[in-house]
Structure 1
């Protein structure tokens, strides 16, 4: 599934109609959540019927397209099913009990309620809300896809305007030549990551960089009278600062992940639990600013697109274990150099990167989520070995990397033969 996004242009009346449609979606979703709270045995199809009931009771709900109302009920059921799944999995802490939404920012249409122009440069919404024709501007070309391939159309409101997204049903695959390289990545705060070869990528720290401007915008919001137009304008300026930082972080993750995947046949990284790491209030801001999870999601996505193996390993003792002799050398976070009795002296993160690579190549199964059962950016499972990767893994068995277990590589080869 591909998602193409375009900036939309219209008049104030059209944007007001979009806001009304977004509020209607929020109303329908919250009504469905209330129905489930009152009758916990309510199922997915009961919520779907509720959209038609609300359309008969409320005239403003009837103005919204029927497929958009169904999409709103699906959002409610998504929150409910996620709560059920968390309860069954017995995860620790809060289970994500469904809540009423207060800040919905999008409305989603399915197969009806919209029509693309022949030149694919504008879109017309045909429901009773009165949105009408909106011009689109973007870098993507929709002429390569048929209208029946577009499964969803979503209108999104952001701080800098309104956008339209197209969800296109297509399997993205790209073929590139094998590089015969493997890499282990150790993410950190001093540098974004250090690989098993000792190369470091600088941590951009987008939040820290924009924090000064953010604080200034926040002071302007605090000085304005609540409910005034000036306060509303100040809030928009603050939201744009946050939006720019999030876009910078996403762009950095996408470009870096694509570069790593296309440059290596096998990529091994840590199976970190960010939710647990941010409990340290001293490092929470820096960890969130780094965006490790977003980087991992795009690694797994591009691994599927380019048919590369991506493996997540348990990060336990990767910084303490010696990559040369395997002994445990305990060190604090402030110690940045690994020094072992065997004579091995490496940068702490470089040593961890080698251990991560050895751990990934030395075993097929592991604890946690990895490329065999992980979900990528498109929501589909990725596979550890596909097609021509068998030859690349054969090359791994011949390459001399410290402390790679031959037995684990043989298991990897046998697994690849079964997959093919």
Structure 2
């Protein structure tokens, strides 16, 4: 699936109607959660059927397109199925029991309720809310895809406006020449990552750099907030400025992760990295802000995505003892977090992070296997040819 995003340009009345559609979708989702809580044991299809009951009981809920109501029920079922999966896997701690959402930010249509113009530059929303015709502002060209390839449309509200996301059923695949290179990555806080060749990527620290302006904007919001009273327009404006600042930081993190992951994947045929449990690491309140600011998990997700797109191998390895083990003789050399140089009795002396990256690469190659031809970007055909050649030599 490919997601193409456009900014929506329209009138203020149309934006208000989009807000009504988003609130209705949130109501359907929460109602489905309530229906499941009162009648445990029902399945996905009964939740979808319950949407029709909601449309009859609430006139304003019936304005939302029928497939959009079903998409909201699908969101409720996604939370329920995730809870069932966590219980089945016996994950320690909280299992993620489905909860009601207070705020919604998007509404999703399937294949009806909207219509694209012939030039693919406008979209007309035709459900009961009568949102009407909106202009699509973006660089993607929808002419490359057939109308039946567009499986869903998602209207998203953000701090800087409204957006339309088209989910297109297409497999993205790009062929590259093999580089005959493998790479191990060790992420960190001092540097964003250090690879097995000793190269380092700087940690941008977007949140830390914007912290001063964020505090100033947060003070303005706090000063204009009136408890127990209707909030003024100045409060709403200050809140919008703060939200736009947070949105800018999140976009900076994403842009950094995307560009860095693409460069790493294009430069190597196999990339090995640590299978870090970031959710558990941020429980350390002294490092939680720095870990979240680094966005390691987002970088990993883009590594795996570009690995599929470019046909590269990506391997997640267990992080145990990668920093303590010597990459030369495999002895365990215990060191504190403040010790930045790895020194071993075998004579090995190198950067702590590079030593960890070498151990990660070795584990990744062992995971792929000793034959490992596919790790170099080769196809199964070449693997079969080499096997036949070995037999003929013997």
TM-score, normalised with respect to structure 2: 0.93
| Per-residue deviation, residues 4-36 of structure 1 (Å, max 9, x unmatched) | 000001101100000000000011111111111
Following superposition, the deviation at residue 353 of structure 1 comes to 0.7
The question of whether the paired residues in 2 share the 8 Å contact of 1:265 and 1:392 is answered with: no
The question of whether the paired residues in 1 share the 8 Å contact of 2:269 and 2:375 is answered with: no
- The residue aligned with 2:239 is 235
- The residue aligned with 1:18 is 18
- The residue aligned with 1:36 is 36
- The residue aligned with 2:260 is 256
2:367 to 363, 366, 381: 363
- The residue aligned with 2:160 is 160
* Aligned residue runs from structure 1 range 8-407, under 5 A: 8-226=8-226, 227-364=231-368, 388-389=378-379
* Separation in 2, partners of 1:282, 1:390: 48
Aligned residues: 378
Gaps of 5+ in 1: 366-383, 395-412, 414-420
Per the alignment, in what secondary structure is the counterpart of residue 179 of structure 2? coil
* Separation in 2, partners of 1:386, 1:116: 44
Per the alignment, in what secondary structure is the counterpart of residue 108 of structure 1? strand
Aligned-residue CA RMSD (Å): 1.8
The question of whether the paired residues in 1 share the 8 Å contact of 2:155 and 2:165 is answered with: yes
Following superposition, the deviation at residue 225 of structure 1 comes to 3.1
Following superposition, the deviation at residue 392 of structure 1 comes to 9.7
Following superposition, the deviation at residue 237 of structure 1 comes to 0.7
The question of whether the paired residues in 2 share the 8 Å contact of 1:180 and 1:392 is answered with: no
The question of whether the paired residues in 2 share the 8 Å contact of 1:224 and 1:231 is answered with: yes
* Separation in 1, partners of 2:98, 2:267: 42
| Per-residue deviation, residues 29-60 of structure 1 (Å, max 9, x unmatched) | 11111111111112111110111111111111
TM-score, normalised with respect to structure 1: 0.87
Per the alignment, in what secondary structure is the counterpart of residue 84 of structure 1? helix
Per the alignment, in what secondary structure is the counterpart of residue 367 of structure 2? coil
* Separation in 1, partners of 2:294, 2:378: 34
| Per-residue deviation, residues 66-85 of structure 1 (Å, max 9, x unmatched) | 11011011111111111000
Following superposition, the deviation at residue 391 of structure 1 comes to 9.0
